[in-house]
Amino acid sequence: MEILSDLKWRGAINQLTDEAGMEELLGAKQVGLYAGIDPTADSMHIGHLIPFMILKRFQLAGHKPVIVIGGGTGSIGDPSGRNSERVLQTMDQVMHNESALTGQMVHLFGTENFRVVNNRDWLGKIGMLDFLRDYGKLFSVNTMLAKDVVASRLEVGISYTEFTYQILQSVDFLHLFREEDVQIQVGGADQWGNITAGTDLIHRLEGSEAKAYGLTIPLMLKADGTKFGKSAGGAVWLDAAKTSPYEFYQFWYNQADADVVKYLKYFTFLSHEEIAALETAVATDPGKREAQRRLAQEVTAFVHSPAAVEEAERISAALFSGDVQELTASEIEQGFANMPDFALTAEPKNIVDFIVDAGVDKSKRQAREDVENGAIRINGEQIKDLEAIVDPTAMYDGKFVIVRRGKKKYFLGRVNG
């Protein structure tokens, strides 16, 4: 299927600057296209992932994505999506973030038919007088004020620095058009004003027939109208050190039936037929959560690896069954990250004292009762002997003790020293 038609079917197009012209271009040649990300953090979260899924689809269709790391624009701040000025970072932090984001992009896109560039490499060479003379004269303040990205900030105020962001982003598009044969810019819905400013600049300097186009993506909302991309713990990061692969997998697995088909269309590379079959499964047997499981598998494999999917599903199965003996210390760290935890020493202790000291039970009377009734499991093993001794270093590299009370209540003991 032609790629724009596929994107429409997936609900991934908000606006196009010239649909007919873009279709003709994409049908005639390999096309360069780009999206940018400013290095405001050392990892993307899943909200950032949205435009880059579009670029990946173009890459799979034979086109050439270029990722712009905004070392230049990121040092001044993008006004979109916020009601206040961005707090500027040190250049050391910006450069650290650039390196981390570049690594993530290479992981997602590979090294074939793909480029990562940094706009500081060209923006940093433009002097103030050249900027004002060569570019500032080509932008009308009236037009800039009318752009949504600026207009939304006028009541609370916007600095000249952030006001000029759309000029710098336009210069990015012009540079990439000239130097990288990039003809399409992709961005979120809030980037429409910046993108059209770029196409206008190209047409002004390269001629009205220059083939430069823009594509924006709809704001991603859940079925209840709230913004997509947050979990109970905050942002869902692509960096495994910030959001573990298990937590990442669980985020997708826990999506509502009302949202899962939309996310399958947007965040996976499954065919229309495969998604239609999963949509039927949601309607006929939602309890199996077949669509959610496939969504979690596909996105986790793309962002992390197939091995990360296997690990996440092994942790999930162990927690559901209570059979945690075979989990590794690393898997314990992931699977129990958000469960109640307590600190303990490596010293062996009587089971009753251990349970009370851990806060699993409030009194020794309750602890004895739970042990005798078989309600307590230590590292997956049921303990019914009131004289049993718990050795905190017996499993999981001597780092953890897993206590389970009843069928579902887990506690994680972390061994100090």
Known binding-site residue numbers for ATP: 230
Report the DSSP pairing between strands 213-217 and 182-188: parallel
Known binding-site residue numbers: 34, 165, 169, 230
Number of Cβ within 10 Å of residue 91's Cβ equals 11
Q: How far is CA 179 from its chain centroid?
A: 30
Estimate the share of the chain in helix, then strand, then coil, as percent rounded to the nearest 5. 50, 15, 35
User: Which secondary-structure segment (H or E) carries 406?
Assistant: none
**What does the alpha-carbon distance between residue 239 and residue 295 come to, in Å, rounded to a whole number?**
19
- The answer to whether 108 and 156 are in contact (CB under 8 A) is no
Known binding-site residue numbers for L-tyrosine: 34, 165, 169
DSSP readout, 360-396? SSSSHHHHHHHHHTT-EEETTEE---TT-EE-TTSSG
| SS3 state at 156 | coil
**Amino acid letter for position 413:** G
Place of tokens 């495994």: 240
**What does the alpha-carbon distance between residue 174 and residue 315 come to, in Å, rounded to a whole number?**
49
Instruction: For residue 267, give both structure tokens.
Output: 């965040």
Torsion region of 147: left, alpha or beta (phi above 0 gives left; psi -120 to 50 gives alpha): beta
| Nearest Cα residue to 166 out of 82, 88, 75, 73 | 73
DSSP state of 135: I
